[in-house]
Amino acid sequence: MHACSPQGQGTLYDADGSVYVGGFAGGLRQGRGRQREPCGGTLDGAFEAGRAAGPGVQTSARGDVFRGAFAGGLREGPGSYEFGDGARLDAVYVAGAPRRAAAPPQVPRCWSRRVRAVCQTQAPQRSVAPSRN
């Protein structure tokens, strides 16, 4: 272990402008902590060997929020992504990307018929090319 390796609780200011406040072991982020990125996003949760691992909450600068588990610094397992506009995606994440819905939404049959009817009654959109004079 290097003599300057942080141990215990502390604050790390990275050259890229990010700031980590939390636990350290062997010079790496370890245990509970909060990472704030230069763009304004944050990650509150557990860290292991310098990377997010276990339960956490990741918030983007624009207000999107992910709640779920991390492994090796990536989203992993069941999680919920809430967009800033209120939309929500519940999914199982693999290597950071959503792979499938955690619980398929139940769509009432009447809703499905209504959508089909609306789609069938709408006139197709036509595009008009600019004239070449």
How far apart are the C-alpha atoms of 22 and 45, rounded to whole Å?
10
Asked if residue 23 lies in contact with residue 8, where contact means CB atoms within 8 angstroms, the answer is yes
Domain assignment of residue 86, yes or no: yes
pLDDT score at 102: 60
Stated pTM of the model:
0.70
Largest CA distance in the chain: 76
Strand partners, 97: 94
Domain with 57 in it: what CATH number?
2.20.110.10
Domain assignment of residue 76, yes or no: yes
Domain assignment of residue 55, yes or no: yes
Taking the chain (133 residues) in runs of 10, the rounded mean pLDDT of each run is: 75 93 95 95 96 96 95 95 92 90 50 36 40 48
Give the total number of structural domains in the chain: 1
Query: Which residues, 6 or more positions from 50, have their beta carbon under 8 angstroms from its beta carbon?
Result: 28, 29, 30
- Joined tokens for residue 42: 């944050």
pLDDT score at 6: 83
pLDDT score at 109: 42
pLDDT score at 79: 95
pLDDT score at 36: 96
